[in-house]
Amino acid sequence: MLIEGRQHRSIWYEAETDQVCIIDQTRLPHDFAIRTLRTLEDACEAIGAMRVRGAPLIGVTAAFGVYLALRENPASLDTAIRQLRATRPTAVNLRWALDRAARELSERTRSDAAGKALEFALALAEEDAACCEAIGEHGGEVLRRLWQEQCGRDRPLQVLTHCNAGALATVDWGTALAAIYKVADAGVPLHVWVDETRPRNQGGALTCWELRQAGIDHSLIVDSAAGHVMARGLVDVCVTGSDRVSASGDVCNKIGTYQVALAARDNNLPFYAALPVSTIDFGWPSAAEPIPIEEREPEEVSLTSGIETGGSETQVRQYPGETVVRNYAFDVTPARLVNGIITEHGVFEAERESLAALAGAQLSPSGP
Ligand code: MRU
């Protein structure tokens, strides 16, 4: 991704100093801060505190966390995997990356464990960037076709997105936003409606920041305005990312996605989810089976943070401490509301037979 004219990734390794670096996303949009992860505990903290977030990026950070653990103690593979796995429960990419790390590293002798773990993490990061670029190509084509059909080429395509499924949520490119970046690069004029995404405001804080860096026209709306802009005829298509897709095409994503999909269906608008195949959980048969839905601290809802006009950070209490808050972080959109699943291998119907073709692709270590 381009930040102030310079190419950046969300996570990277600096070989000269043997350091793993991340963009600290809790500082955005007011401050662009880079943070160094030195230990397994640093990696776990970064995922848990959402300095890095987004399903694919969590997986890649976990792989680097395994390296940091083995660098310190080559015998710590099992402990590292256990600690990293416990950081966040919903995005299946975390489990997928750690299962792969376990397979790659369990046969290694202790003397080469750290080196192999680093090789694995670097390969996974490259694979993620390549997958996301391919998702962008396929998703961009979906958007380009919609622009031709819906807008007659004479007005901008109106896209609505929820949360942040951009380069910040992956190593580079993103998933839903990758499609937007690719179609914009192809010269299609577009405008993006960005849902704020309470309570952590990944839309307002991260998606708007990314789109501004990329020079893409966008407007921020509160989550409850999504149905209104659709009903007013101001949206052509909705595209989001996902944290876990069932074998039947149900889409688990940031809380509020289900309401976006419902409003889209009521307004005859297509709703797409864009994701790497690593986000499909073939062990989750359908939405009828519950999956772990993260519930975060009530303070994310009852306190609000920002910067004062003078520039200093501040937190204010919106609701009294005794207000009971349930802070669900994800919901599940049933497959019947999903018009297509955009992956690095193309666009698939949100149903079992169509997605089954991807089960083999998930096992392949080489990405798209
Ligand atoms: O809680 P977050 O910020 O990690 O949630 C992120 C999302 O829900 C994204 O939409 C999803 O991970 C897809 S990212 C390409």
Output the DSSP codes for 340-362: EEEETTEEE-SSHHHHHTTHHHH
**Residue 335 near residue 246, CB atoms below 8 Å:** yes
**Residue spans in the chain of domains classed CATH 1.20.120.420:** 2-126
**Residue 175 near residue 163, CB atoms below 8 Å:** no
**Residue 214 near residue 247, CB atoms below 8 Å:** no
* Beta strand 2-3 pairing with 6-7: antiparallel
**Residue 275 near residue 241, CB atoms below 8 Å:** yes
d(CA 43, CA 30): 23
Q: How far apart are the first and last CA of the chain?
A: 20
For residue 28 and ligand 1, the question of a CB distance below 6 A is answered with no
**Residue spans in the chain of domains classed CATH 3.40.50.10470:** 135-363
> What is the Å distance from ligand 1's center to 164 Cα?
6
Phi and psi torsions of 351, nearest 5°:
-155, 160
d(CA 64, CA 47): 12
- Check 195, 243, 250, 281 and give the catalytic one: 243
pLDDT for position 293: 98
Query: How many C-beta atoms lie closer than 10 Å to residue 111's C-beta?
Result: 8
The 3-state DSSP class for residue 252 equals strand
Fold of 135-363: Rossmann fold (3.40.50)
> Residue whose CA is closest, atom 15 of ligand 1?
165
For residue 194 and ligand 1, the question of a CB distance below 6 A is answered with no
pLDDT for position 364: 54
- Which pLDDT tens digit goes with each residue over 116-167? 999 999 999 999 999 999 999 999 999 999 999 998 878 999 999 999 999 9
For residue 53 and ligand 1, the question of a CB distance below 6 A is answered with yes
Phi-psi map region of 187: left, alpha, beta (phi>0 left; psi -120 to 50 alpha): left
Pocket-testing residue among 180, 200, 210, 243, ligand 1, by greatest number of atoms within 8 A of Cβ: 243
Architecture of the domain made up of 2-126: Up-down Bundle (1.20)
Pocket-testing residue among 195, 210, 242, 333, ligand 1, by greatest number of atoms within 8 A of Cβ: 242
**Sheet with 11-14: strands ordered across:** 11-14, 19-23, 34-37
* H/E element, 360: helix 359-363
Q: pLDDT below 50 — which residues of the chain? A: 365-368
- Which pLDDT tens digit goes with each residue over 217-237? 999 999 999 999 999 999 999
For residue 242 and ligand 1, the question of a CB distance below 6 A is answered with yes
Four-CA torsion 56, 213, 340, 336, nearest 10 degrees = 90
Query: How many C-beta atoms lie closer than 10 Å to residue 346's C-beta?
Result: 16
Phi and psi torsions of 165, nearest 5°:
-120, 50
pLDDT for position 363: 60
Does residue 243 have an active-site annotation?
yes
Q: What is the residue type of 106?
A: S
